[in-house]
Amino acid sequence: MALGFMNVFGRSRDLQRLDAALRETGLHPRLMPEAVKLTVLKLMHNHACDPADVDMYERAAELLVYCVHGRAIFLETNPQQRAEAVEARLHAAIEAGDSLDAQLVLLAINAGVIQQSVVDDFGLEAG
């Protein structure tokens, strides 16, 4: 269970890994709603991602942090190449429509955590 039993047993390893990846990418984990993080973990599970693969959490965090901060702020804590790689993933997600990345972007839109500049820059529909 992602939260442990009512947080009595502490945070699950996968939630800790996602929190660490968010922090490393430039967003304090407390600034990302728990419901969003739990949904991210469920989406990753639905896409048969290996929970032991630390890179998987970093990839999800990169996309989410870019969506939350937008390009300018993302670049304050991340190198240019990382921003360009995330932007390429965003374009691919828009084309794919049902990839994990596309679902993460949709989650950011529906949770209301996406930066308006990202919506505008990528022609997304904020619902």
Reported as a single tens digit per residue, the pLDDT across 52-63 is 888 999 999 999
pLDDT digits (tens, 9 = 90+) for 74-114: 999 999 999 999 999 999 999 988 899 999 999 999 999 99
124: CB partners within 8 A, 6+ apart: 94, 105, 109, 114, 118
Query: Using CA atoms, how far apart are residues 127 and 111, in angstroms rounded to an integer?
Result: 10
pLDDT at residue 63 in the model: 98
Can you give the pTM of this predicted structure? 0.89
